[in-house]
Amino acid sequence: MATLLGAIADDFTGATDLAGLLARSGVPVSLRIGVPDIPPEDAAPFEVIALKCRTSPVQEAVTECRTALKWLQAAGARRFFWKYCSTFDSTPEGNIGPVAEALMADLGANQTIYCPAFPENGRAIFMGYLFVGRQPLAESPMKDHPLTPMQDSNLMRLLAPQVTRPVGLADRLTVARGAAVLQDRLRQLAKEGVAHVVVDAVADVDLEVIAEACRDMPLMTGGSAVAMPLPQLWMRDGTLKAPGARPARPKLDPGAIILSGSCSAMTRAQVAAYAQRAPAFRLEPLSLAETGIGEALNWLSAQPPEAAPLLYATAEPDAVRAAQDVLGRARAGAVVEEALAAIAVAARDMGKRRFVVAGGESSGAVTQALGVTRLDIGAEIAPGVPWTYCESGGAQLALALKSGNFGAESFFADALSCLEEQ
Ligand code: ADP
């Protein structure tokens, strides 16, 4: 069938997060790594294109997203979703706003919504302010993110410098009154010329109202969770057929590895917990820049085959700043990403078949290096983190791509045991 919803994600973990939530409905979801260079012949009802453009130069991100839009249109999609991080990771230049405006222009849309809320993971929006758990965004650990430090919590203020047209708010009091009232509010704002509407949501019921009110917009934007009700809404009105049984997980050879390039507070706790029970190797940006990954590879090949070793660049904010002071922010990030990517390829060639990767940019680097073009979505390990299956270098692999802040402290061990249970 033709694609119903075409989604573009600004990073790889964001794409698997969205694909995983859509797949909860049982409807087939296909995730493409980058814009496919083949025409969409076997398109699924939900197609997600994973890009790695969260921190690319604005024009590059816009061009890439427009190309993705064209491919999704060719797959038959008439509704589109622009997926970014539930912590609104961006800078005053972009890329959330500029990409949304470019997609709106291509689709002839005069308005879109912005809803990064993800209540199951503690992301809520109230009066346009984004909260991470009980903390406003700018007081949360996101204030120290290595690439996109978030130092304001107000989504309208964060978005305004990124777009050319007016920004407004549909607040929780409106959302709480249901889809029809929210639609009225959006129409009213459209009359006033407001093109970009931040929409409050603090709980899953709010997301259902928002999805119902906005399902016919050519473009919705947000975190993954606001898209989650769409499959059910389309099944209810007959647009989408109820799904058959989910395919079983493919046969996998043993061998696992954990790679972590995220420095988020949750990943730091996950790395500390896992390092207590498995062999762990710390990657230092400065020595990587000087001498490369040789030492890490020697260490890896010395580990027993049944171990699921951890290699991590994950560090405290002070250590990240120290590396950035010497190498610069972009170079420090790139050195780590290149190292994780090269280690992943070497690990695959050593026979590892199960990969857990922490960090959005880090996952992007690893997946690209493994030459993966398409992922099938499997079981959900934690909200927003499914196992995915793919082919790389002639081998069948399982990848779990975890956004920095997702998962419990025991996530790495959880992921490996979840795969065994499939
Ligand atoms: P998250 O999902 O937590 O945002 P990402 O992988 O997207 O994680 O971003 C983390 C960035 O920080 C990556 O570019 C990574 O290369 C970089 N990084 C990781 N460890 C270090 C470190 N020790 N010093 C400097 N930068 C680092």
The pLDDT of 5-11, averaged and rounded, is 97
Backbone angles phi, psi at 177, to 5 degrees: -90, 5
Q: In ligand 1, which atom is closest to the CA atom of 148?
A: 4
DSSP letter string, 155-189: HHHHHGGG-SS-EEEE-HHHHTT-HHHHHHHHHHH
The answer to whether residues 272 and 397 belong to one domain is: yes
Number of domains in the chain: 2
Q: What is the DSSP letter of 408?
A: -
The answer to whether residues 85 and 162 belong to one domain is: yes
411 alpha carbon to ligand 1 midpoint, in Å?
18
Sequence-ordered strand ranges (E) for 277-420: 280-282, 310-312, 354-358, 374-382, 385-392, 395-402
Residues pairing with 376 in the sheet: 30, 389
**420: pLDDT strictly greater than 90:** no
The answer to whether residues 192 and 66 belong to one domain is: yes
The pLDDT of 195-205, averaged and rounded, is 98
Q: What is the pLDDT of residue 42?
A: 83
- Identify which of 336, 236, 231, 351 has the alpha carbon closest to the alpha carbon of residue 288: 336
Spell out which residues line ligand 1, taking CB within 6 angstroms.
145-147, 261-264, 267, 285, 313, 315, 319-320, 323-324, 332-333, 336-337, 359-362, 403-404
Q: What is the pLDDT of residue 31?
A: 95
Q: Which residue has the higher pLDDT, 147 or 8?
A: 8
Q: What is the pLDDT of residue 337?
A: 97
**95: pLDDT strictly greater than 90:** yes
Q: Supply the CATH number for residue 77's domain.
A: 3.40.50.10840
Q: In ligand 1, which atom is closest to the CA atom of 89?
A: 4
Q: What percentage of residues in the chain have a pLDDT greater than 90?
A: 89
The answer to whether residues 156 and 288 belong to one domain is: no
Rounded to whole angstroms, the Cα distance separating 195 from 197 reads: 6
Q: Supply the CATH number for residue 352's domain.
A: 3.40.980.20
The answer to whether residues 192 and 282 belong to one domain is: no
**227: pLDDT strictly greater than 80:** yes
- Identify which of 379, 376, 413 has the alpha carbon closest to the alpha carbon of residue 391: 376
The answer to whether residues 141 and 188 belong to one domain is: yes
232 alpha carbon to ligand 1 midpoint, in Å?
36
Q: What is the pLDDT of residue 261?
A: 98
The answer to whether residues 68 and 131 belong to one domain is: yes
**28: pLDDT strictly greater than 90:** no
Mean pLDDT of the chain: 95
Q: What is the pLDDT of residue 113?
A: 98
Domain interval for residue 22: 5-236
Find all residues with CB under 8 Å of 306, minimum gap 6, and list them. 254
pLDDT digits (tens, 9 = 90+) for 377-398: 888 999 999 999 999 999 999 9
Flag whether 323 is in a domain: yes
- pLDDT bin (cut points 50, 70, 90) of residue 140 is very high
The answer to whether residues 408 and 348 belong to one domain is: yes
Q: Which residue has the higher pLDDT, 12 or 195?
A: 195
333 alpha carbon to ligand 1 midpoint, in Å?
6
For atom 5 of ligand 1, the residue with the nearest CA is 359
**How many alpha carbons lie under 13 Å from residue 179 in its C-beta half-sphere?**
12
Q: What is the pLDDT of residue 169?
A: 98
Q: What is the pLDDT of residue 378?
A: 87
Q: Which of 336, 367, 368, 406 to mutate to test the pocket of ligand 1 (most atoms within 8 A of CB)?
A: 336
122 alpha carbon to ligand 1 midpoint, in Å?
22
pLDDT digits (tens, 9 = 90+) for 248-294: 788 898 899 999 999 999 999 999 999 999 999 999 999 999 999 99
DSSP letter string, 328-345: -HHHHHHHHHHHHHHHHH
Flag whether 307 is in a domain: yes
